[in-house]
Structure 1
Amino acid sequence: MNIDALAATIQASEDFAPLTAHLGYLRDIAQPCIEMRLLDGVAAASASRFGGMPMVPAGFVWPTHAVGQYRFLGQINFSDIASPSALPSTGVLSLFYASDEDGECFWGDPGYVVAYYWDDPDQLAHVIASDRNPGHSAALDFKAGISIPRHYELRDDWPFDEYSQEADRVFSALWQLQADDYLLGYPSFDSLAYDPTPEKDWVCLMTLVSHETLQWCWQDGAKLMVFIHKDKLKEVDFSELRCDAG
């Protein structure tokens, strides 16, 4: 959904009436994002997916952390994304997250999510971690969208009083307007009472909800947010990511 479609949606629905008076403000603060939708079909080998088996080059060594192996989170084949964005236009990004049965891994720790970027998908092949069942896999569909913050903590210039009835109506309406899983844009969370963005010039790479079919449970069923420095994203360098969940 682009900003003009958003404006039309707001003006045509009683559910979004609380946003009408603030449409100009929302236009100013909206950021582009890429919405992700899980599909029922099986993804082609090099296609974007969550779960399953990663595509990696020959000789790839499965990543490990202090108490075990990483779990494969998913892969993004950037050529699957038709809409221009701050993301690379080609190449494959494979993401892994630290997981262990005893719950010793914490999403706020450095290296909770690690990523590997390869610019030539034709050189990749499937690999399976030696001690893990690859589990459920879900193909991904991408659509251009817009991201509007849905939490007080993400802005300090809201055009209404915090915790007012008007604010409650606005935020209730905003929650209906964005996908659960998306790339870029503002982070979104369930229970945090602060802006999870690590530092200035860091941006949200992706926001993911908990998915039972994928055995994802971020902070008691909440959301995982993965961040990258904007300069590193511009350089196509995914070697340092930071995370939060809630």
Structure 2
Amino acid sequence: MNIDALAATIQASEDFAPLTAHLGYLRDIAQPCIEMRLLDGVAAASASRFGGMPMVPAGFVWPTHAVGQYRFLGQINFSDIASPSALPSTGVLSLFYASDEDGECFWGDPDYVVAYYWDNPDQLAHVIASDRNPGHSAALDFKAGISIPRHYELRDDWPFDEYSQEADRVFSALWQLQADDYLLGYPSFDSLAYDPTPEKDWVCLMTLVSHETLQWCWQDGAKLMVFIHKDKLKEVDFSELRCDAG
């Protein structure tokens, strides 16, 4: 959905009536994002997916943390994304997150999510962690979208007061407009009372909800947000990611 389609949607439905008076403001603050939808089919080997087995080069060493192995989160084949964006246009990004049976791993820890980028998918092959069942896998579909903040904490220039009825109506309407899982854009969360962006010049790389089929449970069933410095993203350097959940 682009901003013009959003405007048409807002004007056509009574559910979005609270947004009509603020359409100009929403146009100004909207950011591009890439919406992700989980598909029922099995993804091709090099295609984008959550869960399952990663595609990695020969000699790849499965990442470990202090109390065990990382778990494969998913892979993004950037050539699957047709829309221009701040993301690379080619290559594969494989992501892993720290997991353990005793719950010692914490999403706020450094390197809770680690990523590996390879610019040539033709050199990659399947690999399975030696002591992990690969689990369920879901293919991904991508669609260009727009991201509008759904939380008062994400901006300081809202045209209404935080605890006003107007704020309640606007944010209730905004919650209906955006995909659950998406790349780029504003972060979104269920239970935080602050902006989770780590520092200035950091941007949200992805926002993911908990998915039972993938055995994802971020902070009691909430959302995981993964951040990257904007300069690192331009340099296609995914070596330092930071996370929050809630």
SS in structure 1 of the partner of residue 111 of structure 2: coil
- Deviation string 1:134-189 (CA, Å, 9 cap, x unpaired) is 00000000000000000010000000111111110000000000000000000000
| Residue segments in structure 1 that go unaligned for 5+ positions in a row | none
For residues 221 and 214 of structure 1, the distance between their equivalents in structure 2, rounded to whole angstroms, comes to 12
Structure 2: distance between partners of 1:9 and 1:222? 27
SS at match of 1:82: coil
Q: Secondary structure at the match of 2:133?
A: coil
Q: Counterpart in 1 of 2:217?
A: 217
Give 1:235 shift.
0.1
Q: Does 1:84 align with 2:63?
A: no
- Ranges of 4+ aligned residues in structure 1 off by more than 2 Å: none
Distance 1:162 1:239 in 2: 37
CA offset digits 1:29-58 (Å, max 9, x no partner): 000000000000000000000000000000
**Identity, % of aligned positions:** 99
CA distance in 2, matches of 1:184, 1:162: 25
CA distance in 1: counterparts of 2:64 and 2:161, whole angstroms? 47
1:229 is displaced (CA, Å) by 0.1
Give the number of aligned pairs: 246
Task: List alignment gaps of at least 5 residues for structure 2.
Answer: none
Tell me by how many angstroms 1:4 deviates: 0.2
Structure 1 residues 147-162: aligned runs within 5 Å: 147-162=147-162
| Other structure's SS at 2:138 match | strand
Corresponding residue for 2:22?
22
Task: State the SS of the aligned residue for 2:9.
Answer: helix
- In 2, the alpha carbon distance for the partners of 1:194 and 1:64 equals 31
Distance 2:172 2:125 in 1: 45
1:74-97 CA-to-partner distances (Å, cap 9, x unmatched) read 000000000000000000000000
1:182-216 CA-to-partner distances (Å, cap 9, x unmatched) read 00000000000000000000000000000000000
CA distance in structure 2 between the partners assigned to 1:98 and 1:81 by the alignment: 27
Report the aligned-residue RMSD.
Answer: 0.2
What is the CA–CA distance in structure 1 between the aligned matches of 2:21 and 2:209, rounded to whole Å?
Answer: 30
1:114 deviates by 0.1
- 2-structure distance, mates of 1:167, 1:198: 25
Map 1:58-137 → 2, pairs under 5 A: 58-137=58-137
Deviation of 1:107 after TM superposition, in Å, equals 0.2
1:108, CA displacement in angstroms? 0.2
State the partner residue of 1:10: 10
Give me the TM-score of the superposition, normalised by structure 2.
Answer: 1.00
Q: Post-superposition shift, 1:71?
A: 0.0
The separation in 1 between residues aligned to 2:139 and 2:225, in whole angstroms, is 20
Does the residue aligned with 1:36 lie in a helix, a strand or coil?
strand
Q: Distance in 1 between matches of 2:188 and 2:206?
A: 10
Q: Distance in 2 between matches of 1:125 and 1:112?
A: 24
- What is the TM-score of this pair, normalised by structure 1? 1.00
Paired with 1:22 and 1:163, the residues of 2 have a C-alpha distance of 17
Instruction: Tell me how far 1:18 sits from its aligned partner.
Output: 0.1
Tell me the equivalent position of 1:174.
174
Q: C-alpha separation between the residues in 2 aligned to 1:68 and 1:121?
A: 28
Find the aligned partners of 1:162 and 1:135 in 2 and give their Cα distance.
43
SS at the partner of 2:8? helix
SS at 2:97 equivalent: strand
